[in-house]
A and B are shown apart, each in its own frame.
Chain A
Amino acid sequence: MMMVKRLGWTIVVVWFAITATFVMATAIPANPARALLGPHSTPEAIAKVEAHYCLDRGFLGRYACFVGNIAKGDLGESFRSKRPVSAIIVEHLWPTVQLALAAIVLQLLVGIPLGVLAAIRRKRWQDHTANLISLLGQSAPAFVIATLAMYVLAYRFGWFPIGGYGDTFGSRLHHLVLPAATLAAAGIAYYARIVRTEMIDVLGEDFIRTARAKGLSERDVVVKHALRNALGPLVTLVGLDLGVMLGGAVVIEFIFAWPGLGRELLQAVLEVDLPLILGVVLVAAIAIAIANLLVDLVYRWLDPRLRDQP
């Protein structure tokens, strides 16, 4: 029952995102026909293009034309490249998925241990170092970290390729390191702070004292009892981050020439390429909705008390 309800809400949310995007995109005072035809266009040619792409209709007519087709499962053709939007999205979705997953894995693999370390070595040098790293990771904008990493690690040392995507599995991983690490930097910092705070709270709880009193090793106390209880808020964050990252990481994709969705969306917005804008937003909205759904499921697994709730 809960799943059906959630699914219904997901559809409403996606519909709302598409409609809001459509309203905003049509509010831009730019005529895509003029941008398409270039400086030699005649009014007749522009009228023809407008008719061809439903641009000559009123607001509701256009809404029916663009959003109605999406409901029928047809994302249409990009104004600019005349290629099917679904094909463009499929091409650029996979690079984005790889980047997003790699970044999330890094955030978890580095952020959690950093937070735990800071919590159990509270007010010691490990804690201070972790705090400093968190501060840097959270306060330095992605483009600064990206540019520095590219300059030092790729250009000066040559450890990584400067930009691009890579053809083989090994080369793909090699190309993925810098963009994923840069994308993960802020997340690592944030996760470390969250885990630290939660751990400090949890380590002060009665059941931890009980666990220690039972004679459990400190390792078991921290990992089995404290950490599992401290991870709750992180699950929400991972879900949200994954959703946002699947919409495309514009800055990182731009700097590292990573062929993801974010770049495509930015370009589509600049060119008022309505079908492409709507298509990418649709995918991003679905990604966020699915991520939220997964968060709920993981919550229920982590906290058995939630399982019986409707």
Chain B
Amino acid sequence: MKAVVLIALAACNGMDRGPHERAAGHAKPVDGGTLRYATKDRVVSLDPAIAYDETSSYAVHALHDTLVDYAPAVRGDPHSGTDIVPHLAERYEVSPDGLTYHFWLRPGIAFSDGTPIVAADFVYALDRVRAKPDSPYAQFLVDVAAITTPVQNELVFQLARPNMAFLAILTMSFTTPLRPNTELATGPFVLERWDQGRRLIVKKNPRYWDAASIHLDRLELIENVPRDVQFLMFERGELDAAERLSAADYLWITERQDWAPYVQHRTAMNAFGSRMNVTQPPFDDRRVRQALNYAVDKDHEVKLLEGAAVISHGILPPGMFGRDDALTPYPHDPAKARALLAEAGHPNGLDLEYVVLADEEAMRLAESVKSDLAEVGVRIRITPMSFAAYATAIGSKSGPAFSKGVQLADFADPVDFFDLRFASSEIHDQSSNNDSFYANPELDRILAAARAEPDRNERAALYQSAERILYADAPWIWEYHQDVTEVTQPYVAGYAIHPIWLRDFSRSWLDR
């Protein structure tokens, strides 16, 4: 008994929870060392044609490079990391009609075993994606009419219709060159070992074309570690970085002066809200949809996310080109919401079902939406679903009409947000990508024009007008864009959260 009391007492005693190690202060990057980080999920697959989840992408992106990629992110610059720069290609040209993309491969590029990379390796990988029935990526190549290799180190894509997002699509890892039946890497690292569901270790690829910028010997990704456990491991020095902290850890660390320099935030390319099926009553009435936009207190949601989010006015996240930063989000105005509902013929309110993903954070936010809507007489019943059930249900035209809406970017272009979610061509009775079933010929015209518009300013202007239409028509309750937060040990240098790749440590180094 005494022992128990002693242990309890010792556990309550104060202990220094500040950073244990300091940076050594080297002016230039130091080579060597292993950076250890963890994720709450597992790596599903290392096959670039299959892996389609965030955790797998950390590994796949470290192992596989592409013709073009985003520039590295810069800490503190909210617009950094979205420009596309040549990687395995040395340069490229786009024809004035936007239909031909010509790439010249970088001289001397090779797979991790030294085999030179030739244009045919890209063709093989893309054909493989198109032939695999269960690759989620074949759909990104629908605009490609032909891929040719005029000479060994040139690659030409012929598109059937102009798509200004095509370059952004080519940043996705599934376009990496491959050799049949090999697992050769083309990225900054090669696979050292993978104990499935436990950890994945990659080591530096000396044959990488930009090996001079890679300083770490190894990256060790520990899988399946819950967020709060990650933070305990981080504090004990078992991890060099921890992300998406749980609420308590997040609040604690953001208030600590000594940790502040090592905490990073970045608004990632995402949008969260509540999606409504505009073909089903009562959501077929725009006034109802607007009323719900006025009814939800977005400030409160951001508070529930510990401030790690920005209120949204539409689907495009901050930092995305084409976003109209002048638009202001719907204010929280219950009186106006009630008036609009009454005008739409619902003076006594409504009873609705609200479908959400069954995770703790989504449930917490759903409760907030529920109490906000109750205030204006809209009573909702929350139905939590697993991801697979949710994805099936909301893609069905006759399925649940009101649900949490989530959009995560595949690539940094408005096409990935607008065309996918709101173009009428994406409407199907089942498995509809346009899951609000919103069809507007005017918006379709603007989106088609923007997809083909080569002038960047003109294109941005078109997307801004699309934003205004969707703002007014409100097929979603526009709620927030979520930040990513990461805390690193003081000696982790050269790391910035990337808006698309999120945790890209490839160019980090250990200052110790």
Contacts and interface: CB of A to CB of B under 8 A. Distances in A.
Interface of A: 28-43, 45-46, 48-49, 51-53, 79-83, 88, 91-92, 129, 150-152, 154-158, 161-165, 254-257, 259, 263-264, 267, 269-272
B15 interface: yes
A129 to B, nearest CB: 8
Contacts of B226: 254-255, 257
17 contacts: A30-B385, A30-B388, A34-B388, A39-B407, A40-B420, A46-B431, A81-B45, A82-B50, A155-B236, A157-B11, A162-B233, A164-B199, A254-B224, A254-B226, A257-B224, A257-B225, A271-B386
Given A41-B433, A156-B11, A161 B238 contact: yes
A37 B133 CA distance: 10
Given A29-B389, A30-B389, A40-B139, A164 B44 contact: no
Contacts of A79: 134
B222 to A, nearest CB: 7
A31 B52 CA distance: 17
A145 to B, nearest CB: 13
A157 B389 CA distance: 43
Nearest to A254: B226
B392 A264 contact: no
A94 to B, nearest CB: 11
B134 A82 contact: yes
Contacts, number: 151
Contacts of A51: 133
Contacts of B1: 129
Interface string B368-407: 0000000000000000011111111101000000000001
Interface in B141-194: 142
A41 B431 contact: yes
Nearest to B239: A162
Nearest to B139: A40
B10 interface: yes
Given A91-B196, A156-B10, A264-B197, A162 B232 contact: yes
B420 A271 contact: no
B440 interface: no
A88 B197 CA distance: 9
Contacts of B299: none
B40 to A, nearest CB: 9
Contacts of B473: none
Nearest to B390: A30
A256 B8 CA distance: 21
Nearest to A32: B388
Contacts of A155: 232, 235-236
Interface string B199-211: 1000000000000
A263 B232 contact: no
B195 A259 contact: yes
B42 interface: yes
A278 to B, nearest CB: 16
B217 interface: no
B11 A152 contact: yes
Given A82-B47, A257-B224, A257-B226, A35 B196 contact: no
